[in-house]
Amino acid sequence: MASATSSSQTELSTQARIATIGKLNYLDFFGLATPPFRNTSGIADLFLNGQLSAAQSRLDSVLNGREGGIIVMNGAPGSGKTTLANHVADRRKDRDRVAKINRTLLAEDEFLQILLHAFDIPSENLTPKQSLERFDTFLRKRERQKKRVILVIDEAQNLKPGVLDMLPHLLRAEDDNRPALFIILIGQDAFEHTLVMHGSRQLKEMILYQTYLTKLNSGDTAGYIQHQLNAAGLTQENPLSERAMLRIHQLTGGSMRLINTLCDFVLFNASMGRIRRITPDLVQTTFNALQWEPSSDGQTDKDASKPATADNQPRLVLEFRDNTPFPLDKESVTIGRATDNDICIRDLRISRHHARLTTSRQGISVEDLESTNGVYVNRVRIKVRLLQDGDLIALDEHRMRFLNPQGTRG
């Protein structure tokens, strides 16, 4: 008992002495071959949870198409959208031409110069019209070679309206013969607003796929930390306790970018104090030294901690969100793009307030709220429909299954 108390006091006193934050030097101490927590998109062994895996599969499917278009990847900072997009694009470099742009606060002529430079196309002393013609010549050459062209644009929320309007011209939207050019736009939350307010109808019609990535929940945070350590060559027990990883999630809100930074410093401080087993106290001490503000993004965990839906309770199974159950335990449930909906779908093809499910004495019905693209039940477009157990509801490509073990009440 005295030994355990002494050990605990030693660890706490070590934590209290932690004041210096410096370079990574913990690799040997923890038996790692490479730094496990690098904020970089060039990762061969990518962490994939349910939503990232689904997004990767869909990206691959779209990029295998013969007709090009626009792919939109929205998400909060640290949700993994840039890492995923670059990972998918980089895997295709052997057979496709890939270029990346991360400078986006540009006028139209500046953007064209950067675009040509990214694909190693001579761009000196060209007018905007000449730049477009030269890029089109490049695309036609690739078409003859039956090669796709992939352009990844990061920080797309900063693109100016004039540059957004230019993208359909790059894709020859007015022609029947559209080139196999795929433009992946990666943007933070503000980008959705930019597309709604400034994106032309022509631009929106060329969107082949759009997704919104959320931050990690607590279980995925622990899985991500373990995955990164394993990929870095860890052969011993994870030095971070489960409670330490939970504290990391609570402090970072599930942002992979913040998780990486905090874990780097936690492991560094542990190695400085010769601490083999990392506790929540050490995580908190390190976090305090960084002088960050605690994350206020607790909604994901709050939702994840809800008890499982009772077997006999009516619910929607959101197939587009890895079959997540959504209990229909209130009189009215709205679905749409706006954040005030009960089910928010971040997709421009979804209207702000698209559909509503209403519980009455007759049962549960779904209603189309004058949406642009309609509501479908079992592949039939409807205005109002009383739902039966097992009905498939579709809002564009977003599908959800209605389950009501009690049957329709009448």
> Which residues are within 8 A (CB) of 116 and not within 5 positions of it... i.e. 6 or more apart?
122, 123, 126, 131, 134, 135
pLDDT in tens, 148-200: 999 999 989 888 889 999 999 999 856 667 788 999 999 987 787 777 776 77
Lowest-confidence region among 36-45, 274-283, 349-358, 393-402: 36-45
Residue 84 DSSP label? H
CA of 281: how far to CAs of 30, 259, 315, in Å?
19, 16, 40
What average pLDDT does range 231-257 have in this prediction?
Answer: 94
pLDDT in tens, 334-380: 999 887 888 988 888 899 999 999 988 778 999 999 999 999 998 89
Q: pLDDT grade, residue 410 (50/70/90)?
A: very low
pLDDT > 90: percent of the chain = 51
Give pLDDT, residue 406. 63
This model's pTM is above 0.75: no
What average pLDDT does range 62-82 have in this prediction?
Answer: 90
Longest CA–CA span in the chain (Å) reads 81
Q: Residue 384: in which H helix or E strand, if any?
A: strand 384-386
What one-character-per-residue DSSP string does 369-380 give? Answer: -S-SS-EEETTE
Q: Does residue 4 register a pLDDT over 50?
A: no
